[in-house]
Amino acid sequence: MSLPKPIVDHKVAEQLLRQAIMLAQDESSQLLATEWDAQIRTIIKGKHLTFRYILITALLGKATNPNINALALQAGADIEGAYDARSLCHKVLVPLERQMLNRSLGGSNEPFLNKPARFPTISPSNAVRAGKDRELLLILHKVLSEIETSEQAFAGLCIAVRYAIERQTTRSELFSEVLASADSHLKILEFVEAFVTKSIEGQVAAILTGTILSLYFEQFESFEVIVHPVNQSGASSNEVADIDIKKNGKLFVAVEVKDKQFSEQDIDHAAFKASQYGLKSITFIMGTRATYIGSSLEQVSRTVMVTQNINVIFIDIVSFIKSIIALCPELSFSRFFEKLQDCATSVRVKDEVFEHINHVFQTIQAPLK
């Protein structure tokens, strides 16, 4: 007969997390050291966003109920002590991170939807990228395998939160220095041209396009820019295109973002959806890796106009962004960067995208001459 699954009381967990945050924020308080401090620091200050959430969720779960298995990621895992880590993370950790920690772990809305958290348990055999990611996985597994008591878990939780605060403080100081000296269109374009050198499954081009459109339309009343998660099935949602723009609640413009090979069938399908919603045109923003498989874009545009009475416009992403920026005379780099991070978070991009954002940001630190 199988034992009942341990339950983590979310109310108790929230109280413990609040306590850990207050202790960590108090610079005068001497936190109880643990034998895992160095490993916890490596994970929290490392570049893998999801591992940060997994670690703190596991420490919080173990501190709340010592009977849980800190290696469990899913309640259905075939191990003793499996519990619902995803629910604890999304319902307790994520809201408090936003409320009390200024998104210091990365600001993800649903981090357990990311691939490293989709396994039943934390295991050395989990599929991750070789190199730093595998090193972090092994460190995470070691820490969570060795912590046995709720007291150890709470001490580790306090240490992890303090490292998260330190991480955010360092990043904020860096950002403020650059942002204060970089309120210009030229700095935005410098960032854009470096950022588009990677695709990351089309997510880079999608959030850039969504960001700049959001910034443009927020200058006017009654507009809403909706950026849909990349690779989301349109059949399972209300989306028309990758980016839908509404005016007074009614669809106004549809924008597709391509950063890979695409065909006439892709164009025809997008045009058909646009026509079904009463639109007369659809715009294709083409990333640096976008490649059309067919005769010519000009020819397919003519064909779609004849067959569906829809205008199809193609424009490369950098030219598009330059054009939109020119229509946003008050736009600062700080506002652009803030909106880009918000967009990346809202569409649940991969950890690699956040890493790329930070890397590009750091490469353009030098103030404009």
pLDDT in tens, 317-333: 999 999 999 999 989 88
Q: Residues in the chain, how many? A: 369
pLDDT of residue 232: 53
* Lowest mean pLDDT segment, chosen from 55-69, 178-192, 348-362: 178-192
Q: pLDDT, tens digit, for every residue of 55-69?
A: 999 999 999 999 999
Token pair, residue 243, equals 């980016």
The residues, any chain, with a CB within 8 Å of residue 223's CB and separated by 6 or more, are 217, 245, 246, 247, 252
pLDDT of residue 32: 84
How is the chain split into domains, by residue range? Answer: 10-175, 185-363
Task: State how far the Cα of 231 lies from the Cα of 296, in Å rounded to an integer.
Answer: 25
Radius of gyration of the chain from its Cα atoms, rounded to whole angstroms: 23
Average pLDDT for 62-77: 94
* Whether 242 contacts 191, CB under 8 Å: no
pLDDT band for position 349 (cuts 50, 70, 90): confident
Q: How many helices (H) and strands (E) does the chain have?
A: 14, 7
Q: pLDDT, tens digit, for every residue of 204-240?
A: 999 999 999 999 999 999 999 999 987 654 444 578 9
* Lowest mean pLDDT segment, chosen from 196-200, 311-315, 362-366: 362-366
279, pLDDT greater than 70:
yes
* Whether 195 contacts 357, CB under 8 Å: yes
Tokens 């193609």, located at residue: 314
367, pLDDT greater than 80:
no
Region label for 154, one of left (φ > 0), alpha (ψ between -120 and 50) or beta (otherwise): alpha
Topology adopted by domain 185-363: Trna Endonuclease; Chain: A, domain 1 (3.40.1350)
* Whether 141 contacts 55, CB under 8 Å: no
